[in-house]
Structure 1
Amino acid sequence: MSERVIQKEKQSLVTVTIDGRQVIARAGQTVLEVAREAGIRVPTLCCLERLEPIGACRLCVVEVDGLPAPVTACTTPVQEGMVVRTRSPFLEEMRRETLKLLFLRHPMNCGPCEASGRCPLEDLAYEYDISSQEVQDYGVGPVELPEQPWATPLIRYHPRRCILCGRCVKACEEVSGIGAIAFKGRGAGTRVGPVEPTAEFSSQCVSCGECLSVCPTNALVESMGQPKGKPWELKEVRTVCPYCGVGCEMVLQVRGDRVVGVASVADGRPEADTSVNRGALCVKGRFGYEFISHPDRLRRPLVRREGGFEEVSWEEALDLVARRLKEVIARHGADAVAGLASAKATNEENYLFQKLMRGVVGTNNVDHCARLCHSVTVAGLAAAFGSGAMTNSISEIEDTNLILITGTNTAENHPVIGSLIRRAVRRRRAKLIVVDPMRTDLVECAHLWLRPRPGTDVAWINGLLHVIIAEGLWNWKYVEERTEGFEELRAAVAPFTPEYVSR
C-alpha cells in the first residue's frame, strides 16, 4: 500500500467519545452508525440500514458537548473530538415522553395484534415502563382514525396503529424507486396514503409490498389470506423465489404445514447484504404464495382411463411410464423418445433428467424450454465475452451512470431489477435510454425513448456502432489489447450512417 493511500485513509478517520468510550469512526458516518458498530444501543423506530435517515421518531436523541440541545443520532455526522452521551436522566425522560405521545395514537392493547412479540414499539413500551394510565393522564382521548385505502388493494392500512415513522414512504421512494405514497393531512389527522389527492388506489403503485415489509407496528397488513398468527407460532424457511431468473432470496412463514406469508431477507438479518435482491421483492414474490395450498393443485399423479383422469399412486404412475417407454423403444428405437426439461426445475434436477434420457433411455433427444428464448443470446455472449452469462453483477446497476435497455420489458419480467434501475435514475441521476417499439413502464423515467420499427434492431445497433467509431468515442487501448476483428467490424458498420438508419 502506498504512503499516499495510507495518509488518505488516516485523514478519513476521526476519533469520537461515546458514553465515555473512545471510538475510531469513518468521516461521514452518523453517530447512530458509529454507536451501533461499537455495540452501544441507541433506541430508534424509524431508522433502517437500507433507508436514508430522517430522524422522524425522535427516540435516538443524544447529547453532544457544545450543542445547546439534543440531536438525532441517525442524522448527525460524527466530527473529530466529538463527545456524545446516549444515556442520561434527561434523555431517558425525553424518550418516555415521546413514547407516551406515540401511544396517544397507537392502541396499547398489544395482545390481539399479530405483531406482538416482534414489535419494536411494544419492546420500548416495556423497556421504558409506559402504562396506559400515564397516557390517559395527558387528558387527550385517543385519535380516532378509521381504516383508510392504501396505494394497492393487496394491503390494508390501519391509521390508529401508524406512528408516522415514515419508513413506508422512504421504502417506496428509495427501495422501489416509485414514490406512490406520501404523508397526507395535518396534525392529529396526519396519515399516509396514495400521492394522488382523490384516488382510492395509486396508479403508480406496483404492489411490491416494500412498505409492508418495513412497517414496525403492523399498521400495514396483507388484505388477502387468513391471519398469520404470532411470531412464535411461525416457522421461517429461507428459500429462493420461483417466479423469474433474478433469484431473489426470501423467507417463507410457515404455520403447521401451510405457508401463510412471505418476508424479506432484509434488515435485522445478517444475510441481507449478501442476497442478490438486498431484501427487495416484487408483487409475485411477496404475495404470490397462495397457490402452494390451493385446492386445485395436483396432489397425486393422474392416469387417463375410460375418457377421464383417475388418481393413482406414484408407484403405479411410474410403472406405467416405464412400461410405455420400453414399448416405444422396443418398437421404434430409443431415438423415438425425446425429453423436454423445465426452466422451473433446479440445475441438479435438469442434470438428472438429461442423464436419465441419455444413460437409461439411450437418446440424445433432450431439449429445454429456455433454449427457444436464450440459445441465440447465449451463443452471442459466449462468442463475444467468453461466457454465455452477464459480465456484471446485478448490484452494479446502482453504480452506473448510463443504462441502455432494449429487447426486454424489465419492470414486468424482472421487477426487482426494474426497481434497481429506477433507483439508479432517481437517486444517482443515471441516464436511462429505452429502445423499444412498445411503451414499457421504465419509459416513464427514461431520458430518451427510441421507437424503432419491429425487426430493425440490427440496423440501429450497427448505426450506433458507426457513430461511436466515426466520432472516436471508443476506448482504443481496450480494443487494441483485448479484442480482435475490430477492422472487420469497422468495415461492416460503415454503410450504417445516421441518414441510412433513419430511413
Structure 2
Amino acid sequence: MTNSIAEIEDAEVIFIIGSNTTENHPVIGTFVKRAKNKGAKIIVADPREIELAKLSDVFMQLKPGTNVALLNAMMNVIIEENLQDEEFIKERCENYDELKEVVKDYTPEKAEVITGVKADLIREAARIYAKADKACILYAMGVTQHATGTENVYSIANLAMLCGKLGKESCGVNPLRGQNNVQGACDMGGLPDVFPGYQKVHIKENVEKFEKAWGVKLSDKPGLTVSEMFHEAIKGKLKALYIMGENPVISDPDTKHVIEALEKLEFLVVQDIFLTETAQYADVVLPAASFAEKDGTFTNTERRVQRVRKAINNVGQSKADWEIIVDIMNRMGYKCSYKSARDIFDELAKVTPQYAGIDYDRIENEGIQWPCPTKDHPGTKILHKDKFARGKGLFKPTKYRTSAEQPDDEYPFILTTGRILYHYHTMTMTGKNEGLMKIAGESYVEINPMDAKKYGISDGDLVEVTSRRGSVRVKAKITDVVNEGVVFMPFHYADGSANVLTNTAYDEVTKEPELKVCAVRIKKA
C-alpha cells in the first residue's frame, strides 16, 4: 500500500476495484464502513454485487477481465472534462501525451459495449473520484489475477497520477495482500528475480553485495515463478521442488496440470503444518510449526513490520521454518550459526535498505512501516510524498485486451473465482473447524436466476460445471449477485475444486495466472 490502513477511514472517496473487501479483508472492510458512516462516497467496480456494492454511491458491475477498458474510460472522462490535476502532472509525471492519445479512444459508450457498465455510471464514477481532495483506490486479486494483470495495475496507477492522488493523506494506490505475510515474503526476496529488499539479481553490484554477506558465489540469473516451475517440471527440465506452506493442488490453476507436474518430479519436499492435498504427493514431508509456535515478524499489507511471539510449545516433532532450513543448510555443507529468528532479522536489516532502521527492540510494542532507513527514522506512513522512487511518475498507457479464454457456443459462461468470509485459502486450517464447516461446508456455483431458468436449474440442485480442462459437481446457488452469462465459484474446496476448471494462461510480466476468467458450461447433474 502506498498509504496506511487507518487513512481509509478519513477518505472522502474510496474506489474499490477487484476486491470483495468485507469478506476477503474484513478488518480493512470495517475502515471502509466507518468512512461511509462519516460521509465518504464509495465507488465499487466488480463482476459480483458484493456487500460493499450495496453501500456504494456508484456500482459498476463489469464483465470479468475488462478492467483496463473501464479505467481508460474513466480517464477519458476526466481529461475531456478537464478534471485532471495539471500541476501534479506537470511537476511530477511524464509521458502524459501518450496517455491522452490512448484513452481518447475509450469513450464511456465504447467502454459500455466492452464492460457492460452503463456510460453514465462511468462518467459519474470518474467525476466523483477526480473532484475529491482525499480519494483512495483499493484493489486485490480481482485486478492482478489476469493475463492482463500488469496492465490493470498500470491503469490504476495512471488514474491516480492523472488526478494527483498519490503522496497525500487518505489517497494512494493500495493493493490488499491475499494473506497475512505475503508482503513480508516478497520483502525477504521470495521472488525469483530479486534479493531481499527488491534488489535485482541481474545487477552486478547487488550480486557482489550478497556474495560478501553470505560468503558464497551467487547466480545473476532470475529463477522461475510458480507457474513456470510446473511447466518446466512437465517438460522434465525441473527435477525437484521444495514447497513451503503452499497447497498448489488446490490453489493453482488447472489441477490436472499441477498434479501432472508433481508426479513428473524426481523429488518433492513439502514443509507444512498439516498433510495437505499437495503434501500427499511428497517424497518427504517436513512438519513445520504454526504461527503460534514460533517467534519472528510478519509484514502486513501497509508495509508494517510487526512482531510474532511464540505462544505455545511446538507440537510433536514440528520446528519453525527457519530451524528446518538451517538444519538442511548445515547438512548440505553451508555452515549456519543462527540461534534465533532475531539473528536472521538483524542480518536482513544490514543488507536491506528499507529495513535498515528496524530491529526487535524498536518493534517490541508497535510495528514500523518501511522504508525505515535509520534507527532514528519513524517509518514511512505515506509513500511518494515529495517524489516517486524513479523520480518522475511514468504514465504507462495500455490498450484493452481480451482475456486469454472467451466464452463460445460450447462453453458459453465466464467463470470467475474468489474467496468467501468463512475460509482461509485452501482450508488447511479453517476446514478443520467444525463451526465454520457448518456454515460453509461445501463448494457451490453462483448462477443468475435467468440462466438457471434457461437450464432448468433450481437452488440447491447438483450442477456439473465443465471447462476445457475438467469437470466438477457442486451445488447451485441461484442469485442475482452475478450477471447473466457469469458464474462464480469459491476456490477453497478440494471437493468441487474451482481450479480443476481454471486455465494456466498467465501475465507475461508477473507470470500471475488468470484465475479470474475462464470459459465453462453448466448443466443440471
TM-score surpassing 0.5? no
Q: TM-score scaled by structure 1?
A: 0.28
Structure with the bigger RCO (C-alpha within 8 Å, sep 6+) is 2
Which one has a bigger Cα radius of gyration? 1
